[in-house]
Structure 1
Amino acid sequence: MIMKITNFMLLNILILTTLIIMITMLNFKKYNWEKNSPYECGFNPSSKFRLPFSLHFFLISTLFLIFDIEISILIPMIISMKYNFFNQWFYSLMIILSTLILSIFYEWNKKLLTWIS
C-alpha cells in the first residue's frame, strides 16, 4: 500500500515538473512597455524631468472638493426635513449654509478664486 502511494506521488511530481518546464518553454514573451509601465497621475514617475505643477489649480480643486462635500451634506438634510424637528433641522441647516457662504466670501476676498493673477 505504501509503495502505491509513493509511486503515485512520484508520478505526480514528474507530471507537474514536466508541465512547468513545458509552460516555461512555450511561453511567448511579448514586452509591451505601455502595459508594464507604472501610471502615476498622468506622468511617468521614472523620468527625471518634472513638469511644473500649478499650485493654484491644486487650491481650486481642493476648494471644489470641500464645497462638493458640503453640498452633499445638504441634500440628505433637505430630504429629512419632514422626519426631524423643524427647529433642530433649521438651526443645523443655517449653520451649514452660513459656513458655506462665509467661506466662499473669505476665499473671494483673498482672491483665491481668480485664475489669472
Structure 2
Amino acid sequence: MLILGTTFFLIVNIMMIAANILSKKTFSDREKSSPFECGFDPVANARVPFSLRFFLIAMIFLIFDVEIALLFPYMFNPSSYMTSLWYANISFFLLVLLLGLYHEWNEGALEWSE
C-alpha cells in the first residue's frame, strides 16, 4: 500500500513539473502584456491594487453570512427546541460571533474612512 501511494505521488509530481515546464512562454511581448485601451497607450497603470478596506468588509460580510447559515438548522429543527443543550449551543455560538465582532470593531476594520 505504501509503495502504491509513493508511486502515485511521484507520478503526479512528475506530471505537474512537466506541465509547468511545457506551459512556460519563452517570449514576452510588450503589446500583449499591456492593457488594451482602444489602441492607445494607457493613461495610467491598469494594475492598481484594490482597496484593502473593501476586501476586509467583504470578508467580514461573508463570515457573518456563513454563520447565519449555520444558525438555520437550529431554527428549523423542532425536536431540539427548548432543551438546555440547545440554549448552550446557541449561546456559545452567539458569544463567539459577538466576540469576533467586538475584536473587528476594536481593530478598526469596520470603519470605512481613516
1:55 is aligned to 2:42: no
Give the Cα separation in 2 of the matches to 1:46 and 1:113: 36
Segments ≥4 residues shifted beyond 6 Å: none
Give 1:84's aligned residue.
Answer: 80
Give the Cα separation in 2 of the matches to 1:65 and 1:101: 15
TM-score, length of structure 2 as denominator length: 0.56
TM-score, length of structure 1 as denominator length: 0.55
Larger radius of gyration: 1
Give 1:114's aligned residue.
Answer: 111
Q: CA deviation at 1:92?
A: 0.9
Give 1:94's aligned residue.
Answer: 91
Q: CA deviation at 1:95?
A: 1.1
Q: Which residues in structure 2 correspond to 1:38-49 (within 5 Å)? A: 47=35, 49=46
- Aligned residue-pair number: 72
Q: CA deviation at 1:49?
A: 2.6
Query: RMSD between aligned alpha carbons?
Result: 1.9
Q: CA deviation at 1:46?
A: 6.1
Structure 1 segments unaligned to the other structure (5+ residues) = 1-44
Structure of greater relative contact order (alpha carbons < 8 Å, 6+ residues apart): 1
Give the Cα separation in 2 of the matches to 1:113 and 1:51: 23
